[in-house]
Amino acid sequence: MTTRSIIMKKMDRGEADETVIFLSRERGWLTGIAKNSRKSRVRFGGHLEPFCLVDLAVRSRKKDNMVWIDESHMFQGFLRIRGNMKSLARVSYFFELAYVFLPEALPDPNVFDFLKNFLETLDSSNPGSIELLVSEIHLLGLLGFQPSFNCCPFCGQGFASNTEAYFSPLFGGAVHKECAEYEPSPHINMSPATLAALRHGLNSDSRLVGRIKLSRSAEQEIRESLSAFVRCLRGEDIKSLRFMESVGYL
Ligand SMILES: [Zn+2]
């Protein structure tokens, strides 16, 4: 079958072959083997590079749950992203989230389309921090882990303006400061302005999110909350996130 796919990763396999991890729109995450791809560049023509949007002709293998990749056809190479380390790191992070939170071979066209659109956006524009943070929250929602900023998980009440709140990584959402006393795990401060800006961003049309002003401290509070949340969900570190932190890309 031929399947619309985005390549995430490619590794050498023996002398001549390559192992490719990719997200198929129809089949979810798959690991494929491209036979002789290192010897015959003509056959795959550089289409198996990370974050290329391709059509792959794949066949099941009998001995394991991997597939053979017989042919590829390139649609978009996203060269601008691949030439920009910061964009590349951001895309790697989004793909790693999808990889760790979406079970293998479980198709999810919504996640696929979201990631494809994200690649197109990063390739053609320079989204600001609020747009990137809101996109990350939307992706987590599609993966089944939508953090909540509308009502406190302890008392079920919303957040009036000027309410001081915390973000609880364990509960995956904002909690009132007084309610947080019942939950001993570490919290991250969320000022009323941060919570208001973020909720505004989440409720806005995607084309208008970029107009929302986000202070540096609000950006840091949201960033810290999401980083703690995904690590809490995962139960271990997220490599691309640690990389972005270590080189100051966040
Ligand atoms: Zn509460």
pLDDT (0 to 100) of residue 25: 98
Bigger pLDDT: 91 or 182?
91
How close is the Cα of 119 to the center of ligand 1, in Å? 37
Flag whether pLDDT at 207 surpasses 90.
no
How close is the Cα of 156 to the center of ligand 1, in Å? 6
| Domain extent listing, the chain | 2-79, 127-246
Mean pLDDT confidence for 70-87 = 94
pLDDT grade for 27, boundaries at 50, 70 and 90 = very high
pLDDT grade for 71, boundaries at 50, 70 and 90 = very high
81-100 pLDDT, tens per residue?
Answer: 999 999 999 999 999 999 99
Mean pLDDT confidence for 151-175 = 91
Task: Name which of 58, 61, 60, 84 is nearest 72 in CA terms.
Answer: 58
Q: Which CATH class is domain 2-79?
A: mainly beta
Give one DSSP letter per residue of the chain, joined into a string. -EEEEEEEEEEEETTTEEEEEEEETTTEEEEEEETTTTT-HHHHTTTTSTT-EEEEEEEE-SSSS-EEEEEEEEEE--HHHHT-HHHHHHHHHHHHHHHHHS-TT---HHHHHHHHHHHHHHHH----HHHHHHHHHHHHHHTT---B-SB-TTT--B--TT--EEEETTTTEEEETTGGGG--S--EEE-HHHHHHHHHHHHS-TTTGGGS---HHHHHHHHHHHHHHHHHHHSS--HHHHHHHHTT--
How close is the Cα of 153 to the center of ligand 1, in Å? 6
How close is the Cα of 137 to the center of ligand 1, in Å? 21
217-236 pLDDT, tens per residue?
Answer: 999 999 999 999 999 999 99
How close is the Cα of 234 to the center of ligand 1, in Å? 25
Flag whether pLDDT at 40 surpasses 80.
no
How close is the Cα of 241 to the center of ligand 1, in Å? 30
pLDDT grade for 43, boundaries at 50, 70 and 90 = confident
Mean pLDDT confidence for 21-25 = 98
Q: What is the pTM of this model?
A: 0.94
